Amino acid sequence: MRDGHVRVLPLHVANKIAAGEVVERPASVVKELVENSIDAGAKSIRIAITQGGRKLVSVLDDGCGMTKDDALLSLERQATSKILDAEDIERIDTLGFRGEAIPSIASVSRFTLTTRRRDSDEGTMLQVNAGTLAEVRPAGSPPGTLVEVRDLFCNIPARRKFLRSYATEESHVRQIYTVHALAHPEIAFSLTVDGREAGRLPAAAKVADRVRDLFGPEFTESMLPIPDDQSAAGRTATVKVTGFVERPNLANPTRREQYVFVNGRPASAPSIVYAIREAYPRRQGDARPAVILFIELDPGQVDVNVHPTKREVRFRDNVAVKAAVTAAIGRAIGIAAEPAAAAVQPTNDSRQPAESRTPDTKPFSAAPIPPPTSAPVSPTSAAAPSVPAAPPAPAPVETELKVSVDGEKSKPWRWFKFLAQPESGYLLIETDAGIVTINPVAARERIVYERLKDVKTPSQPLLIPETVRLSPVDYSRLAAAMDVLNAMGFALEPFGQNTFKVDAMPQIASSLSAADLLATISRDLSEPGQRRGGERWREELIAKSVARSFAGAPIRFTPKAATKLVEELCSCRMPYVCPRGKPVMIFTSTRELDRKFDRG
C-alpha cells in the first residue's frame, strides 16, 4: 500500500525493472551478448535461436573467457570489466559497459553461462533460474564463453504476452546479426534458426566483401564507395566517414535500409539523419537511400550513454559531424553522377511496355504529384495554370462509357474524350461535365492495386526463373508471408541462404524487377503500425507495394494507350485517389470555367 514512505526495492524487483530497460525482446538479448563477445576479442561468434528466441537464445564466442570469480561477479549489478572510474565514462571505446545486461537477462530467464580462459585448464559453468543462482561447477569447455538463455520472461507472463510471432521476433534477431556483422567484418558470424543454418559469414578483410556476403553482388553494385582519404571528402576536422551510398538514380521511391555505425557501434543521431537527407537529391514521398556509413571520431567527442540500449548517441560537435557526412556523400555521388545518369535508367520506367515508353532524360527527377487544392471531384478554385509550350495535341479519341459499374454506383462521367498530354506528363480529358487533369502515375497505381487486391490475379510464369538474394531481415519477413505472396500470383520457394527462386509473378506485375519488388514488399511489411489481425492486412499491404512499384518516371502515351488507361481507371471502385491517398485527378467543371472566363 502506498503510504508515502521511501523504501529500498528488493534486489529481485530492481533486477526486473532493469531488465525492462535492457531486455525488450529476444533480439535485445542477442544484442547484449554479441556486444560482450566482441568486447572480449572474439574472432568467431555463433548465434542460435529457437522459436524466435522465446525458447532459446544461444551465443558462443572464442573470446578471452572468464575465471570462476569473474563469472560470478558478472551476475552482480554494476559489475563490469570495461570501465574503472568516472573518467572512463567520458571516453567509452567498448560496446557494453553499464554492467546491467547479464544480471538483467538472468533475472527473467533460465540462464546458463559456460566459460574458460585460454590459460586455464578447466572452465566454469553457472546456472541461474529467474534471478536465483542455482548451480556453480567446473566444466570442460573450449576457450571463450557460451551463454544460453532459455524461456525468456518465464517469470513475467505479462511481458511474454507482448512478444510478437516467432517470425517477427526472428526478423529482429536477424537485424541484430546483420548490423553487427557489418560493423565487424573481421569477425566470422553464423546464425542458426530452429536447428537450420540461416547464415554463415567468414571473416572478411574488407567491408565491401562483408556487404557482398550479406546482401549479394547486385546490391553491392548498386552502391557507391565513399573514398577513404584525408581530404574534405573523407574527413572534416576530427571526423572520418567511410562506407557506401546508393546511386541516386537507382533508388526506389520507398524507405531503404540505412546502417550507421559510430566508432563501430550501431547507432544514429538526429544530426546524421539530417545530413543524409540534405546530401541526397530530393525524392518522391518518403523515399530515402540505402547507406552504410562508418563514422569515426575521438571517443571523448561522443556520448554513447544517452539511451539505455545505446541506440542513439550525442555529439559534442554536431556541426562537424553533419559537415563530414554531407561532404562524404556528396563526393561519392559527384564522382559517378554523370556516368550513372547516362548509363543507368530508373528500373521501374525501363521495363514498361514499348508502346508507352520513351527514354528518360532526367534520371534524378520524377513528375511531381500536385497537392489537392480541393476534393478530387469538386470544382477547383485554383487559378488557371499557364499553358506550356508543347507539341501538337494528338487527334481526339472519343469513348462512350456505360453509366454504372456492376450496378453499384455511377462512373466518374458518362463519356470522355482524350485531349492531350502536355510536357508536364499529365493527361487532359474532356468529359460531359468539364475538364479533368489526370496524374497517369497515380492512376496506374490505383488500377494495379484494385486488380491485385480484389481479383484472383493470374500468374505469369517466367521464361527463366530468377534467383533473388535479399538481406537476412528482408528474407525473414518474406518467408513469413510466403503463403500470402504465392496466393496473390507469385511462385516463390527458398533457394539457399537468404535467397528465393521466383518461378512466376502476378501477371499485372510481370514487367517489374522481381528483386526490386520483393525488397519493396519486405520493407513495407516492416513498417510500424501495421495491423496484425488475420492475413488480410498482408494482402492489402502487398497490393499497395506492387502498385507503388509502378510509380516511376512519367511516360508518354499514345492516344490509344491514354484512352485505355482512363477506361481502366473508370472501372475502379475508387478512381479518385491512389492507394496512398493522393489525388489521381482534379476536376474543373464547365460552370467553373464559365465563371472564371466571366461568361455566365
Domains of the chain: 11-201 (3.30.565.10), 222-344 (3.30.230.10), 449-548 (3.30.1370.100)
Which tens digit of pLDDT belongs to each residue from 80-98?
Answer: 655 445 454 455 555 554 4
Q: Element (H or E) spanning 365, and its range?
A: none
Yes or no: say if 45 and 59 are a contact pair by the CB < 8 Å rule.
Answer: yes
Whether 340 shows a pLDDT value over 60: the answer reads no
Residue with cell 496473390: 488
**Do β-strands 44-50 and 491-494 pair in parallel, antiparallel, or remain unpaired?**
unpaired
Paired residues of 431 in beta bridges: 416
For all residues of the chain together, what is the average pLDDT?
Answer: 77
Q: CA-CA distances (angstroms) from residue 414 to 367, 434, 440? A: 29, 11, 20
The predicted model gives 261-285 an average pLDDT of: 81
Rounded to an integer, what distance in angstroms lies between the CA atom of residue 21 and that of residue 16? Answer: 9
Residue with cell 540505402: 290
Rounded to an integer, what distance in angstroms lies between the CA atom of residue 95 and that of residue 102? Answer: 14
Q: CA-CA distances (angstroms) from residue 361 to 282, 346, 479, 555? A: 17, 11, 38, 11
Would you state the pLDDT for residue 172? 92
Q: Which residues of 354-392 are buried (b: 16+ CB within 10 A; e: fewer)?
A: eebeeebeebbebbebbeeeeebbebbeeeeeeeeeeee
Would you state the pLDDT for residue 496? 83
Name which residue leads in pLDDT, 580 or 62: 62
The residues, ordered by sequence, that sit 6+ positions from 206 with a Cβ below 8 Å of its Cβ are 185
Which tens digit of pLDDT belongs to each residue from 402-456?
Answer: 337 333 444 678 888 999 999 888 999 998 888 999 999 889 888 888 888 765 6
The predicted model gives 286-302 an average pLDDT of: 85
Under DSSP, the state recorded for 95 is S
Q: Element (H or E) spanning 492, and its range?
A: strand 491-494
The predicted model gives 153-174 an average pLDDT of: 89
Whether 372 shows a pLDDT value over 50: the answer reads no
As a whole number of Å, the CA-based R_g of the chain is 29
**Do β-strands 258-262 and 291-296 pair in parallel, antiparallel, or remain unpaired?**
parallel
Which tens digit of pLDDT belongs to each residue from 24-69?
Answer: 899 999 999 999 999 899 999 999 999 999 999 999 999 999 999 9
DSSP for 255-269, written as a single string: ---EEEEETTEE-B-
Phi-psi region of 489 (alpha: psi -120 to 50; beta: other; left: phi over 0): left
Alpha-carbon 392 to chain mean position = 44
Rounded to an integer, what distance in angstroms lies between the CA atom of residue 567 and that of residue 571? Answer: 7
Residue 328's pLDDT band (boundaries 50, 70, 90)?
very high
Yes or no: say if 241 and 226 are a contact pair by the CB < 8 Å rule.
Answer: yes
Would you state the pLDDT for residue 411? 67
The residues, ordered by sequence, that sit 6+ positions from 285 with a Cβ below 8 Å of its Cβ are 253, 254, 580
pTM of this structure: 0.66
The residues, ordered by sequence, that sit 6+ positions from 456 with a Cβ below 8 Å of its Cβ are none
Name which residue leads in pLDDT, 183 or 257: 183
Rounded to an integer, what distance in angstroms lies between the CA atom of residue 527 and that of residue 545? Answer: 12
Rounded to an integer, what distance in angstroms lies between the CA atom of residue 134 and that of residue 317? Answer: 48
Which tens digit of pLDDT belongs to each residue from 348-367?
Answer: 333 333 333 333 322 222 22
**Do β-strands 434-438 and 427-431 pair in parallel, antiparallel, or remain unpaired?**
antiparallel
Would you state the pLDDT for residue 454? 66
Name which residue leads in pLDDT, 85 or 572: 572
- Written as nine digits, the cell of 314 is 550525442
- Give me the half-sphere count of Cα atoms (radius 13 Å) on the Cβ side of residue 153: 20
Residue 307's pLDDT band (boundaries 50, 70, 90)?
low
Yes or no: say if 322 and 275 are a contact pair by the CB < 8 Å rule.
Answer: yes
Whether 184 shows a pLDDT value over 80: the answer reads yes
Residue 574's pLDDT band (boundaries 50, 70, 90)?
confident
559-570 and 440-454 are packed helices; what angle lies between their axes, rounded to 10 degrees? Answer: 50
- Written as nine digits, the cell of 517 is 519488388
- Written as nine digits, the cell of 533 is 489481425
Would you state the pLDDT for residue 99? 52
For the chain, report the end-to-end CA distance as a whole number of angstroms. Answer: 78
Would you state the pLDDT for residue 508? 83
By percentage, how much of the chain surpasses pLDDT 70?
A: 72
Name which residue leads in pLDDT, 77 or 100: 77
Which tens digit of pLDDT belongs to each residue from 190-225?
Answer: 999 999 999 999 999 899 999 999 988 878 888 889
Whether 145 shows a pLDDT value over 90: the answer reads yes
Q: Element (H or E) spanning 300, and its range?
A: none
Q: Give the least confident one: 380-394, 496-510, 586-600.
A: 380-394
Tell me the three-class secondary structure of 183-194, residue by residue.
HCCCCEEEEEEC
The predicted model gives 530-535 an average pLDDT of: 50
